[in-house]
Structure formats: C-alpha cells, structure tokens
C-alpha cells in the first residue's frame, strides 16, 4: 500500500467517524428551523462527499464537525438560491446565512437530537415509520439497509421515507420538546421506536448476519443518546437496561456449530458480565423513581434470567409476577405468550396452556412464538398429535434456519 493510499484510508476513516458520531446532531441542527429533513440530509451528504475530496489534500480540519456544518449550510443556501426563494422573505434562510459566517469558528452548537427524536416518533407520522425515520435521520442509515431490516422493498421504503419527511416539512410538525403533560406519552413513542430497531436486529441475528448485529448496536446507541438528553426518566433507563441484558447474551445464543440455544439452556459463562452489570445499574437507577413501566418490567424479567449466572436457578415465580404487572399495562400477544411460558415453568404446563387457550385464534395465526410455546407445553402434557401439529406451525412460521432446525429436532 502506498503512502497516499494510506492517507486516503485515514481520511475515509475520519469521515466515517465524524459521520457516525455527528450525523444526527448535524441533521437535527440543520433542520430544526426549517423542518426540512430531506434538505438537511442532502446538504450533509454533499458536505461528506466534499470532505472525502478536500480532506486528503488539505488535511482533516481541526474541528471536522464544524467544517461539515459550515459546508452543509452553504449547500443549503445554494439550494434555496437555486429555488429562487426571495432571501428576505425566508426568515429561516436568513438565519442560516447569518449563522454561517461565524460557523467556521464554531466548535459548539446546541444538540437538537431530542427534538429530532420526538419528530420521528410524532403521533401524526404513521407509527410503522417511526423507527425507519430515526434510523435514517439520526443515524444516517441508508434506505436500502433499512428496507432489508424491515422486510420491505427498497423502493417502497424510500418512498415511505420521502412521504414521511414531506409530511414533517409541510404538515407543520414542529421541532420541539413536548409540553410536560404530553411528555410521557410522546417519550413512550420514542422508546417504542428504539426498541423496535433492537427487536429487528435481534431477530435478524442468525449468528452470521453482521447487519442484524449492527442494528441492535444502533438501538443501544440511540438509547444512550436519549439517556444523555433525558437523564431522569425511569423508562429510558429501563429500555437501556433491557437491551443491555439481551445484548449481554449474544455469544451464548448459538452453539459453536451455529445451533440455536434457548435462553434457559445458555451457558452463563458466555454472558458478558460488564454489560449485565451496566444493565443492573440502569435498572437500579430507574427503580429510585418508584414509577414502574413496561420497559423496567421487561428489563426486570431479563434481570431474573441473568441472576441464574450467580444462583444457578431461575426464579420463575418472580418472572410470573412481572408478566402479571405487564399484562395489567397492556396484554399483547407477545406478553401473554411469555406469561404462559413462565407460568408453565412455575406452576405446571396445564396453567400455561390455559393462558394460551384464552388468546383469540385470529390473533396468533401467524405469531411464531405462540406456536413454539404451545407445542412445548402440549409435549410436556403428553398430547402428542396436538404437539406435532403445533410444532409444524411453529416450524412453518420460523424465519431463522437455526430456530427451524431446533424445533424440527424437538418435534421428532
């Protein structure tokens, strides 16, 4: 490798690093007055492109973030000029031009990412788009990658993202932190969207899928950012604790041969102790507020599982209690299924099955975990033909080949 190649690589890495760390901050800051996310993103990608050309020749600037901000601003201004927008009638543009002169020297600009997160999870935006919007505008993920994770065609995802951004720009959705009385609800939507990203990354992980792995990391990154911006909310702590507990078990989820290993059979020695300890710290912080919520409860369930690493056993009755509290908040199919599995462990398969039987059949027709738990409980009760049938459904609905193989073997 020649010296100039090495320099190029260094610059590439520098650009990547700034992009990764500053993307959301820059997009948020550039769009907070205009509500124009697409415009801000275009300007920023242009600036990143310029960085790749200019930095190898003139060196990486002292403050790369400020350089990108200034360059992106100039692009935005050029764009407005092209659109022949009358300068004086555009207060936003005026603001941009005024700021741009001093931006070069600027080392510190306000972090507007919280407003951006609230915009992405705004109630006026289709809730299925909350997570994709966040992944794109805060983390800079491209539409193709987001589409893959969400099992949507890239073209469709691109169109949906454009539509959502147009609505944000033209629909009067303001970049602001919600008023106190709306805050819990609005924050909940942000948390849900971050957790959805984690869930997709988690499901995707077939041991080899690097992209799936990244999405769980991105979700944890988002939660950390959120915790910085909203340090005193127990549910933010709860969400981070929940994801860290799951992440701690990454290495234990698959055997060395790629075989799927269910949580209760994982080797705790493979769990990451630092991540578990961090999760426990956040959960303890959360509990100081005396306000339990869904993410704290789900984290608490994971905490009980983690406890097996020390005690060698799982306190199923504690898990059952947490599920009961969760179901009082809202009994989703996922929670009822988890509750049934825990109840079966604590009080016998009969009781677990009764919970499953009470769930409407339409709701579960394509919900894989329901069939997997049902098959397991029927097998425990010795109801062989029914168990086989349920295993078939669980196998047929499984997406992960390792899970499919695991169930095929249990069915036999």
Partner 1 sequence: MQFAFLIYESPEAFATRKSEGTESYTSAWRAYHKALVESGVFVGGDPLEVPETGTTIRIRDGKRGVQDGPYADTKEQLGGFTILELPSLDAALEWAARCPAASYGAVEVRPLAPQIRRKVTE
Q: Which residues bind partner 1 (CB under 8 A)?
A: 151-153, 156, 206, 365-366, 391-401, 404-405, 408, 411
Tokens representing 84 are 């022949």
Return the number of other C-beta atoms located less than 10 Å from residue 290's C-beta: 7
CB distance 220 to 244 below 8 Å:
yes
Rounded to a whole number of angstroms, the minimum distance from the CB of residue 68 to partner 1 is: 36
Identify which of residues 278 and 400 has a Cβ nearer to partner 1 in the complex: 400
Tokens representing 256 are 């060395």
CB distance 248 to 306 below 8 Å:
yes
For residue 59, give the DSSP letter: -
Identify which of residues 83 and 153 has a Cβ nearer to partner 1 in the complex: 153
CB distance 44 to 54 below 8 Å:
no
CA distance 78 to 87: 11
Identify which of residues 157 and 243 has a Cβ nearer to partner 1 in the complex: 157
Rounded to a whole number of angstroms, the minimum distance from the CB of residue 385 to partner 1 is: 14
CA distance 119 to 138: 11
Tokens representing 236 are 């933010």
Identify which of residues 148 and 309 has a Cβ nearer to partner 1 in the complex: 148
CA distance 263 to 10: 41
- Burial string for 192-207 (b: 16+ CB within 10 Å, else e) reads bbbbbbbbbbbbbbbb
Identify which of residues 45 and 388 has a Cβ nearer to partner 1 in the complex: 388
Identify which of residues 357 and 399 has a Cβ nearer to partner 1 in the complex: 399
Alpha helices for 59-182 (secondary structure H): 64-82, 91-103, 113-120, 130-137, 143-150, 154-170
Return the number of other C-beta atoms located less than 10 Å from residue 8's C-beta: 15
Rounded to a whole number of angstroms, the minimum distance from the CB of residue 127 to partner 1 is: 14
Rounded to a whole number of angstroms, the minimum distance from the CB of residue 211 to partner 1 is: 14
Identify which of residues 185 and 366 has a Cβ nearer to partner 1 in the complex: 366
Identify which of residues 5 and 257 has a Cβ nearer to partner 1 in the complex: 257
Tokens representing 185 are 């609800």
Beta-ladder partners of 260: 254
Rounded to whole angstroms, the maximal C-alpha distance in the chain is 79
Q: Which long-range CB contacts under 8 A does 14-17 form with residues at least 24 apart?
A: 14/55, 14/60, 14/64, 15/48, 15/51, 15/52, 15/55, 15/64
Identify which of residues 154 and 309 has a Cβ nearer to partner 1 in the complex: 154
Give the distance from CA 124 to its chain's centroid.
20
Distances (CA, A) of 14 to 17, 52, 63, 65, 314: 5, 9, 11, 11, 46
Tokens representing 53 are 């050309």
Tokens representing 64 are 């790369």
Return the number of other C-beta atoms located less than 10 Å from residue 9's C-beta: 12
CB distance 120 to 137 below 8 Å:
yes
Identify which of residues 79 and 367 has a Cβ nearer to partner 1 in the complex: 367
Identify which of residues 188 and 209 has a Cβ nearer to partner 1 in the complex: 209
């Amino acid at each position: 490798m020649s010296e100039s190649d090495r320099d190029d690589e260094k610059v590439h890495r520098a650009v990547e690093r700034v992009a990764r760390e500053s993307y959301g901050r820059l997009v948020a800051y550039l769009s907070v007055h205009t509500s124009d996310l697409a415009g801000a993103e275009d300007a920023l990608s242009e600036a990143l492109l310029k960085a790749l050309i200019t930095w190898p020749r003139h060196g990486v600037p002292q403050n790369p973030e400020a350089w990108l901000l200034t360059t992106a601003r100039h692009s935005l201004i050029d764009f407005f000029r092209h659109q022949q927008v009358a300068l004086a009638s555009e207060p936003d543009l005026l603001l941009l031009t005024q700021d741009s002169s001093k931006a070069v020297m600027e080392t510190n600009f306000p972090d507007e990412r919280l407003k951006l997160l609230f915009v992405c999870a705004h109630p006026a935006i289709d809730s299925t788009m909350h997570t994709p919007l966040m992944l794109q505008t805060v983390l800079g993920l491209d539409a193709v990658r987001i589409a893959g994770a969400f099992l949507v065609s890239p073209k469709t995802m691109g169109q949906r993202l454009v539509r959502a951004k147009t609505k944000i720009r033209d629909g009067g959705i303001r970049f602001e932190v919600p008023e106190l009385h709306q805050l819990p609800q609005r924050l909940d939507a942000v948390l849900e969207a971050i957790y959805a990203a984690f869930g997709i990354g988690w499901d995707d992980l077939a041991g080899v899928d690097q992209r799936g792995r990244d999405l769980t990391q991105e979700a944890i990154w988002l939660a950390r950012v959120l915790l910085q911006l909203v340090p005193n909310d127990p549910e933010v702590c709860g969400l981070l604790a929940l994801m860290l507990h799951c992440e701690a078990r990454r290495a234990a989820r698959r055997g060395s041969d790629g075989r799927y290993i269910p949580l209760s059979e994982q080797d705790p020695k493979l769990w990451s102790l630092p991540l578990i300890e961090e999760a426990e710290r956040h959960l303890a912080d959360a509990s100081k507020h005396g306000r339990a919520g869904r993410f704290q409860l789900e984290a608490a369930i994971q905490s009980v599982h983690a406890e097996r690493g020390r005690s060698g056993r799982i306190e199923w009755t504690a898990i059952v209690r947490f599920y009961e509290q969760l179901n009082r908040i809202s009994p989703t199919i996922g929670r009822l299924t988890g509750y049934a599995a825990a109840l079966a462990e604590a009080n016998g398969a009969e009781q677990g099955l009764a919970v499953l039987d009470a769930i409407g059949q339409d709701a579960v027709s394509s919900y894989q975990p329901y069939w997997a738990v049902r098959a397991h409980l029927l097998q425990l009760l010795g109801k062989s033909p029914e168990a086989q049938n349920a295993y078939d459904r669980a196998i047929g609905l499984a997406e992960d080949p390792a899970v499919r193989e695991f169930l095929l073997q249990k069915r036999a």
